[in-house]
Amino acid sequence: MGRTDSFDAAEIRRLRTELSWTQARLGLVIRVHRSTVSRWECARQIPSAKHRSSLASLRAAVKSLPPKPDKMVSARVQERTEILARLNGRRVVASVSGGKDSAAMSLYLQELGIEHDRVFLDTGWEHPDTYEYLRGELAAKLGPITWVRAERQMEELIRHKGMFPSRVIRFCTQMLKVQPMAKHLGALIDSGVDCVNAVGVRAAESAARAKLAPWEWQEAFDCEVWRPLLRWSEEEVIAIHRRHDLRPNPLYLAGALRVGCWPCIFARKSEIRLVAETDPRRIVQLKVLENEVAMAAQQRADRAGRELKNEPTWFQNPTSSRTPDGRHDGSCWPIERVVEWSRSAPRGPLRSKDEFLFAAQLDGCMRWGLCDTGAQDQEASA
């Protein structure tokens, strides 16, 4: 700042700023009027030797002060204190899907210094890249991930039931996600561990998620559910990935808007097209599965002495009109027709949206936070 006996206008202003003082307060301390300090800072007057000595003493005192805590660090300390008080020693079990939000949640807990278990609920119907990401890059960055599976995974479960999950009978979420997690948490609780299930859902993703609370007791899990990222933006999710040098799931880079079942029964039109163009084997796999389930459905109809009018398929008709009671008619499309439709150009305002996304998503994976369902209200790039 120059010699101890010399103060120019900029040095006086900088000293006052470092002290977070007004001109009036500085004047009061060194016994001059506020207007005198103002003239000094405007270079219209030079401090006297006595006042330069007083200013030098203040400058020495400022240098001896400990550095001010960073505002962001202070806020994070306060945030951690409040969260730890709410957790009250309970073990945090974090649901990790392989998607960006659940990964961001685990990174956030790391930044807060909150120990947590990471659990992946494997449906057996994820993309191979997601499995590789979970086993490799994600586990290396987050720490060990426990894989939890139901007794029957997706294909075996469908064959066992002889039917596909649907908007009305969404057994995939219940049997492949909710029940296995409840069983996992139940084992911990039975062993005397008090748990909190942390899930990475964000209010900005949909109107339904915006209605959720940060903390909520859920009977199915017999514990409290915590949503740490509920008020986060997508920019914050991306930023924490960058801070920790974590690459996102490669499916996002390929154009997927969400990570989960490949495909989900609520897949967007653009996502169906992505599956068909990048993983034709999955389309063939679905065709074979549809044929098997159709045969089982026909056998049930024959035994019941009724006509099978609608063969079950993975996707219901995405363009069906609603019945008078507001429901869709339940008609189904074979996978080849769905793929053909996914490659068609949008027609009109209704067709510019992803027709497979319906209000039925209010529950299921979206509410439980056990997979990354993406932004429900976002239009597709069909």
Regarding whether 95 and 52 lie in a shared domain, the answer is: no
Do residues 381 and 106 lie in contact, with contact meaning Cβ atoms separated by under 8 Å?
no
* pLDDT the model gives residue 72: 63
pLDDT at 287 over 70: yes
Residue 39 lies in a domain: yes
* pLDDT the model gives residue 377: 36
Do residues 215 and 225 lie in contact, with contact meaning Cβ atoms separated by under 8 Å?
yes
Regarding whether 295 and 246 lie in a shared domain, the answer is: no
Regarding whether 75 and 20 lie in a shared domain, the answer is: no
pLDDT in tens, 23-75: 888 988 888 999 999 999 998 999 998 898 889 888 887 777 666 656 666 67
pLDDT at 329 over 70: no
H or E element: which one contains 91? strand 91-95
Regarding whether 199 and 90 lie in a shared domain, the answer is: yes
Cβ neighbours of residue 190 under 8 Å, at least 6 residues apart? Answer: none
Picking from 228, 254, 280, the residue at the C-terminal end of a domain is: 254
Residue 259 lies in a domain: no
Structure tokens at 98: 């392989």
Report strand pairing: 223-226 vs 215-218.
antiparallel
* pLDDT the model gives residue 118: 98
pTM of model > 0.95: no
Residue 203 lies in a domain: yes
CA 37 to chain centre: 52
Total domain count for the chain?
Answer: 3
Regarding whether 43 and 135 lie in a shared domain, the answer is: no
DSSP per-residue letters across 248-296: PPHHHHHT-S-BSBTT-TT--HHHHHHHHHH-HHHHHHHHHHHHHHHHH
Regarding whether 51 and 86 lie in a shared domain, the answer is: no
Whole-Å CA distances, 195 to 120, 251, 367: 16, 32, 19
Regarding whether 95 and 50 lie in a shared domain, the answer is: no
Regarding whether 159 and 52 lie in a shared domain, the answer is: no
Report strand pairing: 195-198 vs 223-226.
parallel
CA 41 to chain centre: 50
Regarding whether 186 and 167 lie in a shared domain, the answer is: yes
Do residues 274 and 256 lie in contact, with contact meaning Cβ atoms separated by under 8 Å?
yes
Q: What is the C-alpha to C-alpha distance for residues 137 and 139, in angstroms, rounded to an integer?
A: 6
**Alpha helix (H) ranges present in the chain?**
9-19, 23-30, 34-41, 49-64, 71-87, 100-112, 128-133, 139-142, 154-161, 171-173, 179-190, 207-210, 234-243, 250-254, 269-278, 280-304, 335-342, 348-351, 365-368
Regarding whether 191 and 92 lie in a shared domain, the answer is: yes
* pLDDT the model gives residue 79: 85
* pLDDT the model gives residue 375: 40
Structure tokens at 345: 């150009």
Please give the residue that has the higher pLDDT: either 369 or 342: 342
Whole-Å CA distances, 365 to 34, 95, 151, 213, 357: 64, 12, 19, 16, 13
Cβ neighbours of residue 288 under 8 Å, at least 6 residues apart? Answer: none
Please give the residue that has the higher pLDDT: either 276 or 205: 276
3-state class (DSSP) for residue 215:
strand
Do residues 42 and 36 lie in contact, with contact meaning Cβ atoms separated by under 8 Å?
no
**φ, ψ of residue 91 in degrees (nearest 5):** -80, 135
pLDDT at 278 over 90: yes
Structure tokens at 241: 């990935």
Query: Which amino acid, 287?
Result: K
* pLDDT the model gives residue 348: 44
Residue 381 lies in a domain: no
Q: What is the C-alpha to C-alpha distance for residues 355 and 54, in angstroms, rounded to an integer?
A: 74
Q: Which region holds residue 192: left if phi is over 0, alpha if psi is between -120 and 50, else beta? A: left
Q: List the domain range (segments joined by +) for residue 129.
A: 71-254
Structure tokens at 355: 């027709």
Regarding whether 130 and 32 lie in a shared domain, the answer is: no
Regarding whether 221 and 124 lie in a shared domain, the answer is: yes
Confidence of residue 158 (pLDDT cuts 50, 70, 90): very high
CA 374 to chain centre: 8
Q: Check which CATH number belongs to the domain holding 217 and give it.
A: 3.40.50.620
Residue 82 lies in a domain: yes
Q: Check which CATH number belongs to the domain holding 36 and give it.
A: 1.10.260.40
* pLDDT the model gives residue 376: 37
pLDDT in tens, 97-147: 999 999 999 999 999 999 999 999 999 999 999 999 999 999 999 999 999
Residue 375 lies in a domain: no
pLDDT at 77 over 90: no
